[in-house]
Structure 1
Amino acid sequence: MAVRAVRGATQLDEDTREHMLDRVAEMVTDVMESNGLSVDDFISILFTATSDIVSEFPAYAARQLGFTDVPLMCARELEIAGAMPRVVRMMAHVETDLPRAEVTHVFLHGAAGLRRDLARTHTDE
Protein backbone atom coordinates (compact mmCIF):
# COMPACT_ATOMS: atom_id res chain seq x y z
CA MET A 1 0.00 0.00 0.00
CA ALA A 2 1.38 3.41 -0.99
CA VAL A 3 0.89 6.88 0.42
CA ARG A 4 -0.54 9.25 -2.18
CA ALA A 5 -1.64 12.89 -2.15
CA VAL A 6 -5.00 13.73 -3.63
CA ARG A 7 -6.20 17.26 -4.28
CA GLY A 8 -9.56 18.90 -4.45
CA ALA A 9 -10.97 22.39 -4.80
CA THR A 10 -14.37 23.99 -4.85
CA GLN A 11 -15.68 27.50 -5.25
CA LEU A 12 -18.47 28.93 -3.12
CA ASP A 13 -21.23 31.08 -4.57
CA GLU A 14 -21.42 32.95 -1.26
CA ASP A 15 -19.70 32.83 2.11
CA THR A 16 -22.41 31.41 4.32
CA ARG A 17 -21.81 28.66 6.85
CA GLU A 18 -24.32 26.19 5.41
CA HIS A 19 -23.20 26.73 1.83
CA MET A 20 -19.51 26.35 2.75
CA LEU A 21 -20.17 23.16 4.72
CA ASP A 22 -22.21 21.71 1.84
CA ARG A 23 -19.57 22.51 -0.79
CA VAL A 24 -16.68 21.16 1.29
CA ALA A 25 -18.61 17.99 2.15
CA GLU A 26 -19.37 17.54 -1.55
CA MET A 27 -15.67 17.94 -2.42
CA VAL A 28 -14.46 15.50 0.24
CA THR A 29 -17.14 12.95 -0.66
CA ASP A 30 -16.33 13.23 -4.37
CA VAL A 31 -12.60 12.70 -3.68
CA MET A 32 -13.51 9.59 -1.68
CA GLU A 33 -15.88 8.16 -4.30
CA SER A 34 -13.62 8.98 -7.25
CA ASN A 35 -10.70 7.14 -5.66
CA GLY A 36 -12.48 4.31 -3.85
CA LEU A 37 -11.46 5.64 -0.43
CA SER A 38 -12.97 5.33 3.03
CA VAL A 39 -12.30 7.54 6.04
CA ASP A 40 -9.84 4.91 7.33
CA ASP A 41 -7.65 5.41 4.24
CA PHE A 42 -6.93 9.06 5.12
CA ILE A 43 -3.72 9.97 6.95
CA SER A 44 -4.33 13.74 7.11
CA ILE A 45 -6.03 16.59 5.27
CA LEU A 46 -4.87 20.17 4.83
CA PHE A 47 -7.60 22.63 3.86
CA THR A 48 -6.91 26.13 2.60
CA ALA A 49 -9.42 28.91 2.07
CA THR A 50 -9.18 32.28 0.41
CA SER A 51 -9.33 35.27 2.76
CA ASP A 52 -12.91 36.07 1.76
CA ILE A 53 -14.19 32.89 3.49
CA VAL A 54 -14.84 33.54 7.17
CA SER A 55 -18.12 31.70 7.88
CA GLU A 56 -16.68 28.41 9.21
CA PHE A 57 -13.59 26.20 9.27
CA PRO A 58 -13.60 23.89 6.22
CA ALA A 59 -12.35 21.03 8.41
CA TYR A 60 -15.63 21.11 10.31
CA ALA A 61 -17.38 19.72 7.22
CA ALA A 62 -14.98 16.74 7.23
CA ARG A 63 -15.59 16.17 10.94
CA GLN A 64 -19.31 15.97 10.18
CA LEU A 65 -18.53 13.26 7.59
CA GLY A 66 -16.87 11.10 10.23
CA PHE A 67 -13.24 12.27 10.06
CA THR A 68 -13.00 12.27 13.86
CA ASP A 69 -9.62 10.53 14.16
CA VAL A 70 -7.95 12.03 11.08
CA PRO A 71 -5.65 15.03 11.66
CA LEU A 72 -7.15 18.05 9.87
CA MET A 73 -5.69 21.53 9.48
CA CYS A 74 -6.96 24.76 7.97
CA ALA A 75 -4.80 27.55 6.55
CA ARG A 76 -5.16 30.72 4.50
CA GLU A 77 -4.49 30.69 0.79
CA LEU A 78 -1.97 33.22 -0.52
CA GLU A 79 -3.55 36.55 -1.48
CA ILE A 80 -2.50 36.91 -5.09
CA ALA A 81 -3.91 39.70 -7.26
CA GLY A 82 -6.54 38.34 -9.62
CA ALA A 83 -6.88 34.98 -7.84
CA MET A 84 -10.23 33.21 -7.93
CA PRO A 85 -12.45 34.28 -4.99
CA ARG A 86 -14.24 32.06 -2.42
CA VAL A 87 -12.15 28.94 -3.01
CA VAL A 88 -11.55 26.07 -0.59
CA ARG A 89 -8.78 23.65 -1.48
CA MET A 90 -7.75 20.37 0.09
CA MET A 91 -4.71 18.15 -0.07
CA ALA A 92 -5.21 14.78 1.54
CA HIS A 93 -2.60 12.15 2.21
CA VAL A 94 -4.10 8.69 1.81
CA GLU A 95 -3.11 5.05 1.80
CA THR A 96 -4.15 3.42 -1.47
CA ASP A 97 -3.14 0.81 -4.00
CA LEU A 98 -3.83 3.26 -6.83
CA PRO A 99 -0.79 4.15 -8.94
CA ARG A 100 -0.03 7.88 -8.78
CA ALA A 101 -1.22 8.36 -12.37
CA GLU A 102 -4.64 6.89 -11.50
CA VAL A 103 -5.39 9.15 -8.53
CA THR A 104 -8.34 11.39 -9.41
CA HIS A 105 -8.12 14.99 -8.26
CA VAL A 106 -11.51 16.71 -8.01
CA PHE A 107 -12.22 20.34 -8.88
CA LEU A 108 -15.83 21.46 -8.48
CA HIS A 109 -17.95 24.40 -9.58
CA GLY A 110 -15.91 27.47 -10.57
CA ALA A 111 -12.74 25.86 -9.22
CA ALA A 112 -12.86 23.44 -12.15
CA GLY A 113 -10.94 26.10 -14.09
CA LEU A 114 -7.96 25.94 -11.74
CA ARG A 115 -6.35 22.75 -13.04
CA ARG A 116 -8.09 21.36 -16.10
CA ASP A 117 -4.78 19.68 -16.97
CA LEU A 118 -4.72 17.70 -13.74
CA ALA A 119 -8.22 16.69 -12.85
CA ARG A 120 -11.43 15.13 -13.89
CA THR A 121 -13.72 18.11 -13.34
CA HIS A 122 -17.29 18.61 -12.22
CA THR A 123 -19.27 21.78 -12.83
CA ASP A 124 -22.79 23.16 -12.41
CA GLU A 125 -24.18 22.29 -15.82
Structure 2
Amino acid sequence: MIRGVRGATTIEENVEQEIVPSTETLIREMIAVNDIEAENVASVFISVTDDIDAAFPAKALRNIEGWTYVPVMCMREIPVKNSLKSCIRVMIHHNTEKSQTEIKHIYLEKAISLRPDLQV
Protein backbone atom coordinates (compact mmCIF):
# COMPACT_ATOMS: atom_id res chain seq x y z
CA MET A 1 0.00 0.00 0.00
CA ILE A 2 1.25 3.48 -0.82
CA ARG A 3 0.59 5.96 1.99
CA GLY A 4 1.22 9.68 2.19
CA VAL A 5 3.04 11.21 5.12
CA ARG A 6 2.46 14.92 5.51
CA GLY A 7 4.61 17.48 7.21
CA ALA A 8 5.07 21.22 7.38
CA THR A 9 7.32 23.80 8.96
CA THR A 10 7.89 27.52 8.78
CA ILE A 11 10.93 29.73 8.44
CA GLU A 12 11.62 33.19 9.78
CA GLU A 13 13.75 34.46 6.89
CA ASN A 14 13.75 33.73 3.15
CA VAL A 15 17.40 32.62 2.92
CA GLU A 16 18.91 29.32 1.83
CA GLN A 17 20.68 28.96 5.19
CA GLU A 18 17.24 28.66 6.79
CA ILE A 19 15.18 26.99 4.04
CA VAL A 20 17.38 23.92 3.54
CA PRO A 21 18.13 23.11 7.22
CA SER A 22 14.49 23.65 8.27
CA THR A 23 13.31 21.34 5.49
CA GLU A 24 15.94 18.76 6.40
CA THR A 25 14.87 18.81 10.06
CA LEU A 26 11.26 18.25 9.04
CA ILE A 27 12.04 15.43 6.61
CA ARG A 28 14.35 13.65 9.05
CA GLU A 29 11.61 13.75 11.69
CA MET A 30 9.04 12.40 9.20
CA ILE A 31 11.41 9.56 8.28
CA ALA A 32 12.28 8.70 11.87
CA VAL A 33 8.81 8.57 13.39
CA ASN A 34 7.35 6.63 10.45
CA ASP A 35 10.29 4.22 9.89
CA ILE A 36 10.57 5.27 6.25
CA GLU A 37 13.30 3.74 4.11
CA ALA A 38 14.35 5.50 0.91
CA GLU A 39 13.97 2.28 -1.11
CA ASN A 40 10.24 2.24 -0.25
CA VAL A 41 9.59 5.85 -1.30
CA ALA A 42 7.76 6.48 -4.58
CA SER A 43 8.17 10.27 -4.55
CA VAL A 44 8.41 13.38 -2.41
CA PHE A 45 6.51 16.60 -3.12
CA ILE A 46 7.60 19.82 -1.45
CA SER A 47 5.58 23.00 -1.71
CA VAL A 48 6.33 26.50 -0.51
CA THR A 49 4.31 29.65 -0.02
CA ASP A 50 4.87 32.55 -2.43
CA ASP A 51 7.23 34.31 -0.04
CA ILE A 52 9.86 31.55 -0.24
CA ASP A 53 12.11 31.75 -3.29
CA ALA A 54 15.72 31.92 -2.08
CA ALA A 55 16.42 28.19 -2.54
CA PHE A 56 14.92 24.88 -3.52
CA PRO A 57 13.96 23.10 -0.29
CA ALA A 58 14.46 19.79 -2.13
CA LYS A 59 18.20 20.29 -1.62
CA ALA A 60 17.57 19.10 1.93
CA LEU A 61 16.69 15.62 0.73
CA ARG A 62 20.10 15.27 -0.90
CA ASN A 63 21.75 15.81 2.50
CA ILE A 64 20.22 12.57 3.76
CA GLU A 65 22.29 9.46 3.15
CA GLY A 66 20.62 6.92 0.87
CA TRP A 67 18.07 9.34 -0.59
CA THR A 68 20.04 10.26 -3.75
CA TYR A 69 17.69 8.51 -6.18
CA VAL A 70 14.35 9.36 -4.57
CA PRO A 71 12.31 11.53 -6.98
CA VAL A 72 11.53 14.93 -5.47
CA MET A 73 9.65 17.91 -6.86
CA CYS A 74 9.19 21.45 -5.57
CA MET A 75 6.10 23.54 -6.28
CA ARG A 76 4.15 26.60 -5.10
CA GLU A 77 1.19 26.51 -2.73
CA ILE A 78 -2.09 28.12 -3.74
CA PRO A 79 -1.92 31.72 -2.43
CA VAL A 80 -5.03 31.66 -0.22
CA LYS A 81 -5.81 34.89 1.62
CA ASN A 82 -4.80 34.92 5.30
CA SER A 83 -3.03 31.56 5.03
CA LEU A 84 0.14 30.73 6.94
CA LYS A 85 3.16 32.53 5.48
CA SER A 86 6.75 31.30 5.09
CA CYS A 87 5.54 27.71 5.10
CA ILE A 88 7.21 24.63 3.62
CA ARG A 89 5.03 21.55 3.20
CA VAL A 90 6.26 18.03 2.44
CA MET A 91 4.38 14.94 1.24
CA ILE A 92 6.27 11.64 1.19
CA HIS A 93 4.58 8.81 -0.74
CA HIS A 94 5.91 5.47 0.45
CA ASN A 95 5.08 1.78 0.48
CA THR A 96 4.14 0.55 3.92
CA GLU A 97 2.02 -1.97 5.75
CA LYS A 98 0.91 0.71 8.23
CA SER A 99 -2.73 1.78 8.35
CA GLN A 100 -3.77 5.42 7.87
CA THR A 101 -4.16 5.81 11.63
CA GLU A 102 -0.62 4.55 12.26
CA ILE A 103 0.95 7.22 10.04
CA LYS A 104 2.41 10.13 12.05
CA HIS A 105 2.20 13.50 10.30
CA ILE A 106 4.72 16.08 11.49
CA TYR A 107 4.09 19.79 11.95
CA LEU A 108 6.84 22.02 13.31
CA GLU A 109 7.24 25.67 14.27
CA LYS A 110 4.23 27.85 13.31
CA ALA A 111 2.94 25.07 11.03
CA ILE A 112 1.56 23.33 14.14
CA SER A 113 -1.43 25.65 13.67
CA LEU A 114 -2.30 23.88 10.42
CA ARG A 115 -3.29 20.61 12.10
CA PRO A 116 -3.44 20.97 15.88
CA ASP A 117 -5.70 17.89 15.93
CA LEU A 118 -2.72 15.73 14.90
CA GLN A 119 -0.39 16.86 17.68
CA VAL A 120 0.56 14.29 20.27
TM-score, length-normalised on structure 1?
0.90
Q: How do 1:21-32 residues align onto structure 2 when only pairs under 5 Å count?
A: 21-32=20-31
Contact preservation (8 Å) 1:104, 1:120 = no
Kindly provide the amino acid, as one letter, of the partner of residue 43 in structure 1: A
Q: Distance in 1 between matches of 2:12 and 2:89?
A: 15
Kindly provide the amino acid, as one letter, of the partner of residue 83 in structure 2: A
User: Which residue of structure 1 lines up, in the alignment, with residue 38 of structure 2?
Assistant: 39
User: Which residue of structure 2 lines up, in the alignment, with residue 83 of structure 1?
Assistant: 83
User: Which residue of structure 2 lines up, in the alignment, with residue 70 of structure 1?
Assistant: 70
Name stretches of at least 5 consecutive residues in structure 2 with no aligned partner: none
1:110 deviates by 0.4
- C-alpha deviations, 1:37-96, integer Å up to 9, x for none? 122221100100001001111111112214211111111001111111100001110111
User: Which residue of structure 2 lines up, in the alignment, with residue 61 of structure 1?
Assistant: 60
Kindly provide the amino acid, as one letter, of the partner of residue 85 in structure 1: K
Contact preservation (8 Å) 1:10, 1:88 = yes
Q: How high is the sequence identity, in percent, across the aligned residues?
A: 29
- Paired residue total: 119
Name stretches of at least 5 consecutive residues in structure 1 with no aligned partner: none
Q: Distance in 1 between matches of 2:7 and 2:81?
A: 22
- C-alpha deviations, 1:89-111, integer Å up to 9, x for none? 01110111211111000000000
User: Which residue of structure 1 lines up, in the alignment, with residue 97 of structure 2?
Assistant: 97
User: Which residue of structure 1 lines up, in the alignment, with residue 114 of structure 2?
Assistant: 114
Q: Distance in 1 between matches of 2:104 and 2:12?
A: 24
Q: Distance in 2 between matches of 1:116 and 1:44?
A: 26
User: Which residue of structure 1 lines up, in the alignment, with residue 15 of structure 2?
Assistant: 16
Q: Distance in 2 between matches of 1:112 and 1:25?
A: 17
Give the helix-richer structure, 1 or 2: 2
The RMSD of aligned alpha carbons is 1.2
TM-score, length-normalised on structure 2?
0.93
1:120 deviates by 3.0
